């Protein structure tokens, strides 16, 4: 499949990152969000990232300008998706929001369009079931920050066709990513392994085993992790961590996925990590 028009729905950190790497790979990109302020913020973020590459000598100014010219922002879903070869959804991690969006995309998009979700934990099969093209629905789970991280988990739904998987695998390589095939289970591989580790790290703080700094130091110095699990949780967002743990707990019904009460407490307090200025660490100022 020759992807010319690449559409991203959701102009947040993940969506704008996906739009950037798609444009860098030479595709025409439409970046959609429901608010123009979010679209403009996403476009400015992309420009800032690319300018940083120019300043470091990794990219020429003309190359940056060419990439930016290939990205068009819009708040109109029909305009964004009506001619898309592939749509990658990167909206809030809510099944209700995603299924409603996929219903609308199914009506708007041409018959050949592949509908992909960047969900980090929700079942692709369930999202696909609300469309009339479940065989063309797939998961493309990028890692944050998208321009830097090489992995894309490619998740087959129950009905996903082999040709669609192969097209998305080829597309990921074109975007200079490494696609890894994963089947449709809660949390896939990345978050099924990562989130229980983060949750267990939170339990060690909750039970008074060690302070957050000590837990992170053990994992960095002892296990050679580039970032400790609690700092990583703050960067991901504690609300996102809680949501994924709840998805795992509900999906498997296994007590080992029970979210730590301290995680719930922090989320209820609005201590969501870096984005709110406070989580397991303070980021104010």
Stretch 195-208: mean pLDDT = 98
- The 3-state DSSP class for residue 88 equals strand
Cβ proximity of 234 and 266 under 8 Å: no
148-183: b (≥16 Cβ within 10 Å) or e: eeeebbbbbbebbbeebbebbbebbeebebebbebe
162 is in an annotated binding site: no
93 is in an annotated binding site: yes
Give CA–CA dist 117/133, Å, rounded.
14
Give CA–CA dist 184/171, Å, rounded.
20
Interval 137-159: pLDDT, tens: 999 999 989 999 999 999 999 99
Cα separations in angstroms, 239 against 15, 106, 128, 153, 230: 18, 30, 25, 22, 13
Give CA–CA dist 204/202, Å, rounded.
5
pTM: predicted TM-score of the whole model, two decimal places: 0.92
Q: Which residues does the annotation mark as catalytic?
A: 120, 141, 153, 191
Pairing between β-strand 151-156 and β-strand 137-142 as defined by DSSP bridges: antiparallel
44 is in an annotated binding site: no
Work out the pLDDT band at 200, boundaries 50, 70, 90.
Answer: very high
For residue 84, the cross-strand partners are: none
Give CA–CA dist 35/111, Å, rounded.
27
Interval 240-284: pLDDT, tens: 999 999 999 999 999 999 999 999 999 999 999 999 999 999 998
251 is in an annotated binding site: no
Which residues are within 8 A (CB) of 127 and not within 5 positions of it... i.e. 6 or more apart? 95, 98, 99, 102, 117, 119, 137, 157
- What tokens appear for 40 in the block? 């403009």
Q: How confident is the prediction for the chain on average, in pLDDT?
A: 97
**74 φ/ψ angles, rounded to the nearest 5 degrees:** -155, 155
Cβ proximity of 121 and 252 under 8 Å: no
Interval 113-131: pLDDT, tens: 999 999 999 999 999 999 9
- pLDDT over 80 at 285, yes or no: no
Give CA–CA dist 172/161, Å, rounded.
17
The DSSP-derived string for 245-269 is HHHHHHHH--GGGPPPHHHHHHHHH
CA atoms within 13 A on the CB side of 54: 14
Cβ proximity of 89 and 115 under 8 Å: yes
Domains of the chain and CATH, by start: 5-183 (3.40.50.720), 191-275 (1.10.1040.10)
Give CA–CA dist 240/233, Å, rounded.
9
195 is in an annotated binding site: no
């Amino acid at each position: 499949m020759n992807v010319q028009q690449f559409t991203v729905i959701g102009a947040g950190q993940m969506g704008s990152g996906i739009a950037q790497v798609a444009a860098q790979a030479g595709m025409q990109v439409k970046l959609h969000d429901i608010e123009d302020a979010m679209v403009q913020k996403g476009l400015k973020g992309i420009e800032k990232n690319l300018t940083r590459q120019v300043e470091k000598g990794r990219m020429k100014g003309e190359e940056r300008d060419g990439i930016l010219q290939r990205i068009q922002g819009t708040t109109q879903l029909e305009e964004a998706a009506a001619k898309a070869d592939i749509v990658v959804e990167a909206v809030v991690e809510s099944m209700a929001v995603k299924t409603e969006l996929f219903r609308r995309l199914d009506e708007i998009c041409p018959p050949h369009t592949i509908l992909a979700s960047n969900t980090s934990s929700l079942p692709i099969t369930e999202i696909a079931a609300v469309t009339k093209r479940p065989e063309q629905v797939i998961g493309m789970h990028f890692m944050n920050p998208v321009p830097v991280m090489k992995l894309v988990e490619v998740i087959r739904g129950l009905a996903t066709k082999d040709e669609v998987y192969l097209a998305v695998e080829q597309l990921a390589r074109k975007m200079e990513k490494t696609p890894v095939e994963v089947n449709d289970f809660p949390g896939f591989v990345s978050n099924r392994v990562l989130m229980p580790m983060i949750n267990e790290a939170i339990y060690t703080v909750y039970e008074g085993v060690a302070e957050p700094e000590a837990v992170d130091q053990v994992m960095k110095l002892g296990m050679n992790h580039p970032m400790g699990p609690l700092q990583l949780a703050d960067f991901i967002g504690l609300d996102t961590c809680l949501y994924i743990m709840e998805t795992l707990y509900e999906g498997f019904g296994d007590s080992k996925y029970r979210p730590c009460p301290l995680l719930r407490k922090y989320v209820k307090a609005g201590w969501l990590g870096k984005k709110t200025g406070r989580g397991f660490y303070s980021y104010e100022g």
